[in-house]
Amino acid sequence: MLNDPRQCIFSPFILIGVSLFCIFTSCYKSKLITDDIIAPNWQDSEHLNYGVSLNDTLIREVQYTIYFDVDADIPVYILEIITNSEEAESFMRDSSVVCFRRDDFTPIWAWRKVESDLGYTVVATRYTNSRAEIWRETIDGTESGQINYNYPCFDNEMVLTLLRGLRFNASKKYLFNVVIPFTSEKITNIIRYRGKSTVNTPAGSFECSKLMLNYRNRVFFVYLENQDPRRLVKFQEKNSNVAMVLLSYD
């Protein structure tokens, strides 16, 4: 009833609650990651060396190297990732190469090789505007296939490098897909800004932007250098004792 005094008492609180709800939800409106990507000041022959530790024990080193392909018809840079395991019997040894356009971050192709004492796998992926074509070779033979997608999709190996170019709006969450060539999966990722943080590493102390990455129902924290060239400083899963930390760079 309109003349019910209880309505007069609670209606302002209801209006305030609705307003706060609208403000809160609008702060986390989804946005495509490509909307706010600006290429950092990449350095030709940039080399980054990371240590992956478990309970403070080094289990592998990961090397990221970026170099420009000056002979290509389109402006590209190549990301080479090499993993060296401290215990070869326990961990897979892999290397990856991902080729990007410098202007829009579209991966042109990706290649990777994983090997252990049990066997090996070689995978090549070529990206177009609407799909990823995958070719895979193992000791059991070769196979190929494709994955279709309708909004930004990237090679999973390029994610941590891709985020270096994100000039994030703190009130937004960003969406993008990744393709995992080994399993032919397409996974939706969500990334949010979580403020600033000082991170101490063997390579020095860095003022970083902290991002939260939701990936396969898991939560990771990504720490990126605030200033150009916005190097990845630390990467760690929430509530996990495994972390990847910058050891050195040149």
Q: What is the pLDDT along the chain (250 residues), one digit of tens a residue?
A: 333 333 333 343 333 443 443 444 445 577 888 888 887 777 788 899 999 888 888 888 889 998 888 676 777 888 888 877 655 444 456 788 998 887 777 888 899 888 777 778 899 999 887 788 999 998 889 999 988 887 778 888 888 988 988 888 788 889 888 888 878 888 888 999 999 999 999 999 999 999 999 988 899 999 999 988 899 999 999 998 889 999 999 8
- Domains annotated for the chain, with CATH where assigned, are 5-249 (2.40.360)
Instruction: Cis check for the bond before 181: say yes or no (omega within 30 of 0).
Output: no
pLDDT of 27: 53
pLDDT of 86: 55
DSSP sequence for 97-156:
EEEEETTT--EEEEEEEEEETTEEEEEEEEE-SSEEEEEEEETTEEEEEEEE-SS-EEEG
Amino acid making up residue 84: N
pLDDT of 16: 42
Integer angstrom CA distances of residue 226 from 50, 101, 183, 190: 18, 23, 34, 20
Q: Please indicate, yes or no, whether the overall pTM of this predicted structure exceeds 0.75.
A: yes
What end-to-end distance do the CA atoms of the chain give, in Å? 73
C-beta of residue 165 within 8 angstroms of C-beta of residue 189: no
pLDDT of 165: 86
Amino acid making up residue 116: S
pLDDT of 25: 41
| CA pair distance 11, 145, nearest whole angstrom | 58
